[in-house]
Amino acid sequence: MEKKLDKGKVLTDQQNNMMKSAKLEKATNIGLELTTNFALGTIKNIVTKSLKDNDKNK
């Protein structure tokens, strides 16, 4: 099965699958980055709260 593009080019199934894989990899990387940023933000908030609580208890 072939898929035609607007510019008159034709993508083979293999090329199409490679493009899908690349898009999936990019989406996965973005998801990992968001998850990492969320986790780091959560850790930062916990540490900051702990430090503030320690300062109050002194």
Range of the domain at 19: 3-57
Kindly report whether the global pTM for this prediction surpasses the value 0.85: no
Backbone phi and psi for residue 10, each to the nearest 5 degrees, phi listed first: -120, 135
User: How many percent of the chain have pLDDT more than 70?
Assistant: 86
Domain count, the chain: 1
Q: How many CB atoms lie within 10 A of CB 16?
A: 13
Give the three-class secondary structure for 35.
helix
Strand ranges inside the chain, DSSP E: 3-4, 10-11
Please give the residue that has the higher pLDDT: either 2 or 12: 12
